Structure 1
Amino acid sequence: MFADQLGYQRCGYAGDRKARTPNIDKLASQAVDFQNAVSNMPVCSAYRASLFTGKYTTSTGMVINELRMRTDHETFGKVLTRSSYRTAYIGKWHLYANQLGHHYESKNSFVPPGPHRLGFDGYWAAYNFHHNYYSAYYHTDTPEKIFYGDNVYEPDAQTDMMIEFIRKASKSSKPFGAFLSYGTPHDPWVKDNVPDKYVEMFRDVSLPNPPNYKDTNDKYADNWGRLRPQQRKMLQTWRRLYYAMTANLDWNIGRLLNALEQAGLRDNTIVVFTSDHGEMFGAHGRRAKNIFYEEAARIPFLIRWPKNIRAGTVSDACISTVDFMPTILSLMGLQVPKSVEGMDLSYCALGSGGSEPQAALLQNTGACAAWEDGHEWRALRDKQYTYAVYRVDKSELLFDNKNDPYQMKNLAGNAQYKGTLERFRQILARKMKSLNDTFEKCTWYRDNWTDGNRNIIRAAKD
């Protein structure tokens, strides 16, 4: 199960007292909580490409949104299908359409059966991209849109479909691997995009600007990351609706966990909960995602496996999106493809020792969905610090996340941290060299890695 735009800090178990996430909190108490989990590139398509391949953005070529993924990668779905698993994929896909905008046209929303489903050859009830949760639709094996019905909230309907899949799967001896890709709590944050019951829960809740809020836009932000004056006035309303969406998401996760219990599958099912990235909401003068700051990059990552993973386990390993696939496949006893660039950190979940990443590598290769230069950066996050460098002017940032959780003090110019800064420079250089990541401007990827029609044809190691 993975949410869209749900940051780690917005969950009750992570310390947010205003979040209403009792089911996610309960799951965390029964699972291993990877408290340092981050999204390698905190934006929708890049995250999904890394999730399904175990590769970094510069190796998938998914450098901005609205590109069409290559089909020659070894993927999570292919491993499951080859291993005779029954697969299900429900929800947002965001790896097929090769056009900016026009999301509701079937040529962009429908992912045809075959290689573009990346191995998910079983049950399919998905769409490429949309975030209007009423009057919503999905596709199965034809371009025809299937609407959930009048006044049906999409996350509720998707949960119903997954519960039905679980019930059927429980009657078979064949193992299953099921992915539920929720759209919430991604914007638009308007009242008619959230059930009234949940809107009412947060109607009078105070959700003010955070300490690191800035009333001017970050000069490195793209158009998706900038705030207009009227949007700044809406920030508290947006947060209330975001929290309302998250509360509904939590309710649906509770329903899924209950369905596993009722089907007798609780003890022998590995349950994973995560998200693609968080949301800035004005912190550091930004909205949206696609940045190395904690609000955008840090994500929940929980794994429950009764009788194998001790309830309440906490890991501080520097796990990131590329590590999710090898870690989960290893727990399942399945072969991890050699092409995977992430690490198998299953031993962290199981409470044993082993090597860990020095730091998680984060990448940005352009604006959210446009071929626009000037926003690119690379970053590292270890158990204490975040280090980042922008391509456009070589500006560096260094934050002590333990002592400065809102990342308000840039230590890069502080002579006391010269050694720390140099250490991160060296780690970053070695990691980028190993990936053949040459840190190009966004339009270079367009000109060298796509066919000019937003179809990916190569990446860093090709």
Structure 2
Amino acid sequence: MKKPNILFVFADQMRGSALGCAGIEDVMTPNLDAFAKESTRFIRAISNTPVCSPARASILSGLHTLSHEVVYNDITMRTDIKSIAHCLNEEGYMCGYIGKWHLDCADRGVFIPPGPRRQGFDDYWAAYNCNHMYYAGYYYLNDNPKPVWIDGYEPEAQTNLAIEYIKNSKHKDGPFCLFLSWGPPHCPYEQVPEKYLDMYPPENIRLKPNATKNADKRKIAAYYAQITAIDDCFGKLMRTLNEEGLKNDTIVVFTSDHGDMLYSHNRGWKFKPWAESVNIPFIIRWPGRIPANRVSDGLISLVDVMPTLLSLVGAKIPEEVEGLDLSKLVLGDDSASPDSIFVNFPNSPKRWLSYPEWRGVITKRYTYARFRDKIWVLYDDLNDPYQLNNLAELPEYEELRKEMENELQKWLKRLNDSFESTDEVAKKYYPGSVNGFMEFYENEEIRTGIAERMKKYQQEKLKKKSTN
């Protein structure tokens, strides 16, 4: 029996509630909504370590953060562990990667040469380490060390590359596995085609109940605009699968590496245990195998992606993998859900964050997280979906706190996590960092190229404003 193709599409910093079909935020995602009707959508999908590089390393390796050792951004992923691409290559798959990588060194513009640092994505490479200037996009193509600069909005060009790859796959012997990583809706939010910004007048933005009254609605509107833009890109991908006769033979996943607080609880970005940070979209389709139009509260997390996909296609799961094979859950058995998901942030840079390292667990109903010396948050997500009432120090919830702490201790023991301080973790896994942080940069060629293109972009924006 022919093995299915895999198309794994993920956004950057897109929270799980920011889907039209979620019915929570006023964001337009018609293509993802239509896709969800043909798929299973998980509403308790979690980013185990909610920051870019650690989350991405978990997706590829099936390992938790202290095991894959990418404890913060801009750390090169270990090359002595088997990635999902390595495993699929052994099964005859052609593995390609397009878009943001962010699993290499502090030079965010570095050329990652063919070989171990590409983690088995050897069939096709149109990627860059890290860049969020969406009108100064570029990528390195296969073995060429010279960057290819993109004209226009980056995700549209990346989507076109993915479409070309999918069409060309029909002429290859084996199935393909393509990872497509878009930069949006990660900030800067406003760098998106005007037609999408026009869809979201800031004065019409309805804030989430847990957002601060002084939230910048322009930022939220632009965040939604980015999501609608990549939704259009996703629609093009799905139409290509249909037109090429590949829909029924392809497992498609849409997800994100982590979420975005975006003024909820008066916070920004990610790094935190609140739902806006850790809860991510996760929609998976395989016609005739994975139930369609299904919404599941089964627990699934990014560290489970690798073993689950390998199991679905009948590939061997490496013994060292820590994520769970949740293929039974994905195929429709909600009783196969795990009891809890481990979440953590082991390296908390003092330069960026006002709180220390933390660990926690999420169940179908509760969110629990604590620092080394005290509890931080405890929420009943079923009765308090916006996490407005922190139960952490209320005496009547002492038994619940004990239950959640016991669950956390099970995870710490299982993962051999001694809950060390940021200084201790950074000393082991982040050499050269100071207070858990290392300066990132771009090499001269990339820095100059981005600056020139962003100057042109800003000039064109000013010119349009002056003519309107």
C-alpha separation in 1, matches of 2:212 and 2:375: 19
Query: Are 1:64 and 1:369, in contact at CA under 8 Å, matched by a contact in 2?
Result: no
Aligned residue in 2 for 1:82: 90
- Three-state SS of the structure 2 residue aligned to 1:399 is strand
Match of 2:123 in 1: 122
Aligned partners of 1:371 and 1:446 also within 8 Å? no
The alpha-carbon deviation at position 369 of structure 1 amounts to: 9.5
| Residue 300 (structure 1) aligned with residue 281 (structure 2) | yes
Task: Tell me the secondary structure at the aligned position of residue 155 of structure 1.
Answer: helix
How far residue 252 of structure 1 moved from its aligned partner, in angstroms, is: 0.4
Q: Which residue of 2 aligns with 1:47?
A: 55
Residue 182 of structure 2 is matched in structure 1 by 182
Tell me, yes or no, if structure 1 residue 434 matches structure 2 residue 451.
no
* Separation in structure 1 between the aligned mates of residue 405 and residue 161 of structure 2, nearest angstrom: 47
Structure 2: how far apart are the matches of 1:95 and 1:431? 25
Shift of 1:446: 1.9
Distance of 1:372 and 1:385 partners within structure 2 = 24
Going from structure 1 to structure 2, the CA distance change for 1:368 and 1:142 (only over 3 Å counts) comes to: farther
Q: CA offsets, 1:398-425, max 9 Å, x none?
A: 1000111111111122233222110111
Matched letter for residue 417 of structure 1: Y
Deviation at 1:367, TM superposition (A): 3.0
Q: How far did residue 208 of structure 1 move?
A: 4.7
TM-score, normalised to structure 1, is 0.88
Change (3 A) 1:314 1:369: farther
Aligned to 2:370: 389
Amino acid across the alignment from 2:91: S
Corresponding residue for 2:464?
none
Deviations along 1:249-281, one digit per CA (max 9) or x if unpaired, are 000000000000011000110001100111111
Residue in 2 aligned with 1:229?
A: none
Corresponding residue for residue 201 of structure 1: 199
Change (3 A) 1:373 1:446: farther
Report whether the alignment pairs 1:91 with 2:99. Answer: yes
What corresponds to 1:341 in structure 2?
322
Taking structure 2 as the reference length, the TM-score comes to 0.87
Aligned residue type for 2:388:
M
Quick check: 1:328 aligned with 2:309? yes
Give the distance between the partners of 1:316 and 1:344, measured in 2 at CA: 17
Q: SS where residue 33 of structure 1 aligns?
A: strand
Residues of 2 paired with 1:8 and 1:277: CA distance?
9
Tell whether the 8 Å contact from 1:371 to 1:442 is kept in structure 2 after alignment.
no
Aligned twin of 2:5: none
Distance 1:372 1:17, change over 3 A: closer
Deviations 1:158-199 (A, max 9, x none): 000000000010233411000000101000123xx1101111
Q: Could you tell me whether the CA contact under 8 Å between 1:313 and 1:349 is conserved in 2?
A: no
For residues 236-260 of structure 1, the C-alpha deviation after alignment (integer angstroms, 9 at most, x for no partner) is: 1111111111001000000000000
Q: Give the drift of 1:212.
A: 2.1
Q: Distance in 1 between matches of 2:49 and 2:433?
A: 22
- What is the aligned partner in structure 2 of residue 13 from structure 1? 21
- Alpha-carbon distance change, 438 to 371 in structure 1, aligned in 2, over 3 angstroms: farther
1:243 aligns with 2:251: no
Contact 2:70 2:429 in 1 (8 A): no
Q: CA deviation at 1:115?
A: 0.4
| Alpha-carbon distance in 1 for matches of 2:350, 2:87 | 30
Q: Secondary structure at the match of 1:8?
A: coil
Cα distance change on mapping 1:31 and 1:146 into 2, 3 Å: same
- Structure 1 residues 179-188 or 354-363, which shifts more? 354-363
Q: Any idea what SS the aligned residue of 1:366 has?
A: coil
Contact 1:33/1:315, CA 8 A, preserved across alignment = yes
DSSP-derived class of the 1:139 partner = strand
1:136 match: 137
1:397 aligned counterpart, secondary structure: strand
Give the CA deviation at 1:301.
0.7
The 5 Å alignment of 1:130-279 reads 130-140=131-141, 141-149=143-151, 152-190=152-190, 193-204=191-202, 206-214=204-212, 235-279=216-260
Encode CA deviations 1:121-174: one digit per residue, 9 max, x unaligned: 11000001011111210112233111122xx21100000000000001023341
Instruction: Go from structure 1 to structure 2 and tell me whether the alpha carbon gap of 1:205 and 1:11 turns closer, same or farther (over 3 Å shift).
Output: farther
2:396 pairs with 1:416: yes
Equivalent pairs, count: 426
- The equivalent of 1:460 in structure 2 is none
How large is the RMSD of aligned CA atoms in angstroms? 2.0
Unaligned runs of 5+ in 2: 1-8, 435-468
32-41 vs 164-173, greater mean Cα deviation: 164-173
Distance of 2:153 and 2:144 partners within structure 1: 23
Equivalent position amino acid for 1:420 in 2: L
Q: One-letter code of the match for 1:147?
A: W
**What percent of counterpart residues are identical?**
41
Shift in Å, 1:364 = 0.5
Cα distance in 2, alignment partners of residues 256 and 384 from structure 1: 35
Contact 1:372 1:443 in 2 (8 A): no
Q: Take 1:6 and 1:167, find their aligned partners in 2: how far apart are those partners?
A: 28
Instruction: Give the number of the structure whose residues are more often strand, by fraction.
Output: 2
Which range moved further: 360-369 or 402-411? 360-369
1:223 maps to: none
Q: Aligned letter for 1:412?
A: A
State the one-letter code of the partner of 1:213: A
Moved more, 157-166 or 60-69: 60-69
Name the SS of the counterpart of 2:368 in structure 1.
Answer: strand
* Aligned-partner SS, 1:426: helix
Report the counterpart of residue 114 of structure 2 in structure 1: 113
Contact 1:65 1:368 in 2 (8 A): no
Change in Cα spacing, 1:397 to 1:17, as seen in structure 2 (3 Å) is closer
Instruction: State the distance in 2 between where 1:283 and 1:402 align.
Output: 18
**Counterparts of 1:129 and 1:116 in 2: how far apart (Å)?**
15
Gaps of 5+ in 1: 216-231, 455-462
* Residue 354 of structure 1: how far off its partner (Å): 5.2
Q: Quickly say closer, same or farther: Cα 1:243–1:369, change in 2 above 3 A.
A: farther
2:35 alignment counterpart:
27
Q: Which residue of 2 aligns with 1:221?
A: none
